[in-house]
Structure 1
């Protein structure tokens, strides 16, 4: 299923995941255009912003163009504006409300890269990982690694992850998840990631 030509290189998978977590902890925030494709063909394009200690802002491009939401980590509430910023109504929702769960079942409060990295580490502890290999995503040099649960082991339904980490920053630029039958669950592209951008002052204001 993997079309890239890969050659073994770089750090061991365990070190790569550990170092990626350390790099993420050192960040103040990031911004990406999140492009996802689910197994049922559902596509999403979302402008995603994250700022410590857990503020999250999503603006939908596809589907529900213009819809915006902000997650407040202190209140543990999501403020959703279905018709875009500055427009009513404003819905106040729990982060796991089915209305705002992703196609893959992810809740807003656990949608950040830190939560993804924790899942990768957990799955590796229940199985193993291949040696990282050189690859490229959107002309950015990357380390590719495949993490698979032993037997039928999984984390939140994912038995295998394929992940492309940017070599310079160790930020995940692309992620594919598979079930125990090795059928694709979801493919997510984050290849335009900006780390520690200068966010507008009121970007995360609900």
Structure 2
């Protein structure tokens, strides 16, 4: 029988697109809020809310490039200058080193599967996360194994869709590194191609 992670992966692979507002808090208390849009086969659009309000990043999976508009797409002049950058460019990496091309829920699930291989998996049961029902599991890597900046992850999913509500990342010393809440998630939303190619 498939475990909760396998079921969540299967449901994610059936999705065409999703939207969520991501609230992340790092170990040092640094906070980030973004509107996150994803469309297969790997298009990503991130609209920054805090910090860098108004900045927009769009990742093109075919070109493997990130376009960055530091002042947003409107700018009031009918055009907005954009930078074209590699996904690992420091200008578009998160404070914890995450890159845009590996920022979607599918990449998260791949990281969790890699940790579980040779590591451990434990179901956590039902809970309430940010006032919403959730079902959770925990994945830990084998000794010395760190994937995506984490040695252990605690993940809470929406019970009906198995889409993540909260992800907690821990280092090998078992200290909390980052908590990410995915709020107001919408699955299989209509995101036209031009939304990723303004």
Q: TM-score, normalised by structure 1?
A: 0.89
Runs of 4 or more consecutive aligned structure 1 residues displaced over 6 Å after TM superposition: none
Q: Which residue of 1 aligns with 2:60?
A: 72
Q: Which residue of 1 aligns with 2:15?
A: 27
Q: Which residue of 2 aligns with 1:15?
A: 3
Q: Which residue of 2 aligns with 1:141?
A: 133
Deviations 1:14-72 (A, max 9, x none): 62111111101100000000100111211100000000111100010000000001111
Indicate if the aligned counterparts of 1:17 and 1:117 stay in contact, CA closer than 8 A. Answer: yes
Q: Which residue of 1 aligns with 2:100?
A: 108
**1:152 and 2:147 correspond:** no
1:1-206 → structure 2 map (5 Å cutoff): 15-87=3-75, 88-199=80-191, 202-206=194-198
Aligned-partner Cα distance in 2 for 1:157–1:27: 26
Q: 1:201: Cα distance to partner? A: 5.7
In the alignment of these two chains, the number of paired residues is: 194
Which moves more between the two structures, 72-81 or 129-138?
129-138
- Root-mean-square deviation (CA, aligned residues, Å) is 1.5
Which moves more between the two structures, 98-107 or 131-140?
131-140
Aligned-partner Cα distance in 2 for 1:160–1:143: 17
Aligned-partner Cα distance in 1 for 2:4–2:20: 21
- Which consecutive residues of structure 2, in runs of 5 or more, have no partner in the other structure? none
- Which consecutive residues of structure 1, in runs of 5 or more, have no partner in the other structure? 1-11
Aligned-partner Cα distance in 2 for 1:165–1:128: 18
Q: Which residue of 2 aligns with 1:6?
A: none
Aligned-partner Cα distance in 2 for 1:48–1:105: 17
Aligned-partner Cα distance in 1 for 2:144–2:180: 23
